[in-house]
Amino acid sequence: MALSTEYLTSAELFERALELIPGGVNSPVRAFRSVGGAPFFTRSAQASRLTTADGQELIDYVCTWGPAIHGHNRLEVREAIAQALNRGTSFGTPNPYEVAMAERVVELVPSVEKVRMVNSGTEATMSAIRLARGYTKRNKIIKFAGCYHGHVDSLLVAAGSGALTLGTPDSAGVPPSFAAETIVLPYNDVAALEAAFAEHPDEIAAIIVEPYPANCGLILPLPGYLQKLRDVCTQHGTVLIFDEVMTGFRVALGGVQEREGVTPDLTALGKIIGGGLPVGAFGGKAEIMDLLAPLGPVYQAGTLSGNPLAMAAGVAALDLLITEDPYTRLEAAGAQIRDALEGVAKELGLPLQVPQVGSMFALFFTEAPVTQFESALTSDKSMFNTVFHYALENGVYLPPSAYETCFISTAHTNSDIEQTIEVLCHGMKEITR
Ligand SMILES: *Cc1c(COP(=O)(O)O)cnc(C)c1O
């Protein structure tokens, strides 16, 4: 069956979409509001590249906002989906794929003794917060400015790129009484953390944190900071939740918790774990997880949770990571881009920070290293936008916002990386013209 929209250009599609879908998009950052101009539509994607509805090929550093660590349309993942498809798309009963998935997650992610599958990262963090509250019988939670945990009511406070892009850090429609249970602290600030616990010693159910905040550019923890979060939580009976929706299987098979050797009580997962299909998961200590229905009093459910197609795709994606162990190569590619961009910025006299970890990097056009949300905001957006548009015209797609992280996949070849560096360096020269 051919779709009536199949042969339309990006401009034609966007014009129709604007009449039918709020803002023409199903997720706000896609609308290009931050960088200006109209978004392109993607007709197909293969390996490191997107092909737009206008026939342009782009080397992709968005990688579907993180999931596509193997690049697009990887054969093994597609075959796993096809095989599952032959057996049916949804059963509404337990299925063998769910168990295979759970085995892998428990094996790979240090904190996870038991895991429950959901359909998005948002559901994962929402459920982890509810579980932490049920477990501790407390209400308050701590989150950090600039960290995004999905569009959960009580977490949509100082929530990073999507909200930033729209210039509305807090969403309308979230009752102030919900947000009042959320304490927002600056990341990497031990004194602020200690002050919050001094003020509310027995009231804080959970700390939720992106251990490497990656939704306001990319911010890395100062030495000892994540361990400090661990220690404070242990001391106060507070549940430590690592939101590894972005970093899980991205910076290491076991995520930041493996890399940094700090083990949270609960972990939220998403993105890569779905192999490109809509999946999330949360897991952790069995003692806490066993409070979930049907065993315990914390309710959580999902009609399509553990969907066989999504599980098959996710298992295939994880198995490729296990057998190929691409992390050293990805780290080298990330460092190559970082070193090249920082070198050229220096020559040009441009203020540029390129925080990078493994296959994640971000561009902050600012003088000093970025350690928290406030300093991320000092990044010169117009410089980023100049580079973004130059790159897009020249075949390189960066995230369409100065406050997002770029992702490299295993499908990016050496020549892709070299071509990217050349284009971005020319883009930076455009700033100085
Ligand atoms: C993307 C993301 C989410 C939300 O996941 P969705 O699948 O978009 O709901 C939550 N937390 C982090 C850290 C993310 O990067």
Whether 242 is in a domain gets the answer yes
Q: Is 102 in the pocket of ligand 1 (CB under 6 A)?
A: no
Among 297, 323, 349, the domain-final residue is 323
307 & 236 share domain: yes
Q: Is 246 in the pocket of ligand 1 (CB under 6 A)?
A: yes
Pocket test for ligand 1, best of 125, 129, 219 (most atoms within 8 A of CB): 125
274 & 155 share domain: yes
pLDDT value at residue 167: 39
Q: Is 160 in the pocket of ligand 1 (CB under 6 A)?
A: no
Domain count, the chain: 2
Residues β-bridged to residue 45: 50
Whether 391 is in a domain gets the answer yes
41 & 177 share domain: no
Among 323, 348, 366, the domain-final residue is 323
Cα–Cα distance between 432 and 49 in angstroms, integer? 29
Nearest to 307 by CA among 101, 124, 157, 150: 101
Whether 66 is in a domain gets the answer no
134 & 169 share domain: yes
426 & 361 share domain: yes
Whether 126 is in a domain gets the answer yes
At 127, list the tokens: 């459920």
21 & 123 share domain: no
Whether 1 is in a domain gets the answer no
pLDDT value at residue 158: 72
Angle at 11 between CA 10 and CA 12, to 5 degrees: 90
Nearest to 35 by CA among 391, 420, 348, 432: 391
Whether 4 is in a domain gets the answer no
Residues β-bridged to residue 396: 59
91 & 177 share domain: yes
140 & 237 share domain: yes
Q: Whose CA is nearest to atom 11 of ligand 1?
A: 149
Cα–Cα distance between 162 and 401 in angstroms, integer? 9
pLDDT value at residue 166: 42
175 & 90 share domain: yes
Q: Residue 380 belongs to what domain range?
A: 10-61+326-431
Q: Is 267 in the pocket of ligand 1 (CB under 6 A)?
A: no
Measured from the Cα of 215, ligand 1's closest atom is 15
Whether 70 is in a domain gets the answer no
Pocket test for ligand 1, best of 143, 209, 215, 305 (most atoms within 8 A of CB): 215
Among 272, 292, 323, the domain-final residue is 323
CB-CB contact of 377 with 413 (8 Å) = no
Q: What CATH number corresponds to the domain at position 236?
A: 3.40.640.10
Catalytic residue among 61, 148, 187, 403: 148
Whether 5 is in a domain gets the answer no
Q: Is 148 a catalytic residue?
A: yes
85 & 50 share domain: no
48 & 113 share domain: no
Measured from the Cα of 271, ligand 1's closest atom is 7
Q: What CATH number corresponds to the domain at position 358?
A: 3.90.1150.10
240 & 341 share domain: no
User: pTM of the entire structure?
Assistant: 0.96
Distance 163 CA to ligand 1 centre (A): 13
pLDDT (tens digit, 0 to 9) for every residue of the chain, 433 residues total?
578 898 999 999 999 999 999 999 999 999 999 999 999 999 999 999 999 999 999 999 999 999 999 999 999 999 999 999 999 999 999 999 999 999 999 999 999 999 999 999 999 999 999 999 999 999 999 999 999 999 988 888 776 665 544 434 468 888 878 788 999 999 999 999 999 999 999 999 999 999 999 999 999 999 999 999 999 999 999 999 999 999 999 999 999 999 999 999 999 999 999 999 999 999 999 999 999 999 999 999 999 999 999 999 999 999 999 999 999 999 999 999 999 999 999 999 999 999 999 999 999 999 999 999 999 999 999 999 999 999 999 999 999 999 999 999 999 999 999 999 999 999 999 998 8
